[in-house]
């Protein structure tokens, strides 16, 4: 894999996803003679396991850990390994909640603040999009 392609995946792809979402595009394809990136954005599915949002949810960030990558979510760093975090675990800001596999490279999903994991919002092994909520946390007091 070339350095340019790695840079595109880590730096440019999140911007493309954000642009596609902001412009309400269903599909976006960019590339050159060697590489192509095609994004298909699905309608977000309602999470029936999530707690109801507060009335002023638009003005407040929900207490969740989000991925900064598009890929496959994993709770463990290797097949057969124990999950790195479980519901009920207390985490410090920056601690690893899980991983996103991007073409064989595992990227950590960090806790955005000190808190306790309430629930995972994405099952292990499922595809995730840039900025998708991975786990709901209760902030430490």
For the chain, the domains span 1-44, 62-141
**What is the largest distance, in Å, between two alpha-carbon atoms of the chain?**
53
Low-confidence ranges of the chain (pLDDT < 50): 44-59
Domain 62-141 indexed as CATH 2.40.50.100:
yes
Each residue's pLDDT tens digit, 63-97: 999 999 999 999 998 888 899 999 999 999 999 99
Q: What is the CA radius of gyration of the chain?
A: 16
How much is the pLDDT for 99? 95
């Amino acid at each position: 894999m070339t350095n340019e392609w790695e840079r595109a995946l880590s730096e440019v792809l999140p911007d493309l996803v954000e642009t596609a979402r902001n412009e309400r595009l269903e599909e976006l394809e960019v590339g050159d003679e060697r590489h192509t990136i095609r994004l298909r954005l699905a309608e977000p599915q309602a999470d029936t396991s999530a707690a109801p949002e507060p009335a002023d949810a638009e003005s407040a960030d929900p207490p969740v850990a989000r991925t900064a990558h598009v890929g496959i979510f994993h709770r463990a760093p290797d097949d057969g390994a124990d999950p790195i975090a479980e519901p009920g675990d207390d985490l410090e800001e920056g601690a690893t909640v899980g991983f996103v596999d991007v073409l064989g490279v595992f990227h950590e999903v960090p806790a955005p603040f000190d808190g306790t994991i309430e629930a995972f919002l994405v099952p292990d092994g499922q595809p995730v999009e840039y900025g998708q909520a991975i786990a709901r946390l209760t902030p430490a007091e």
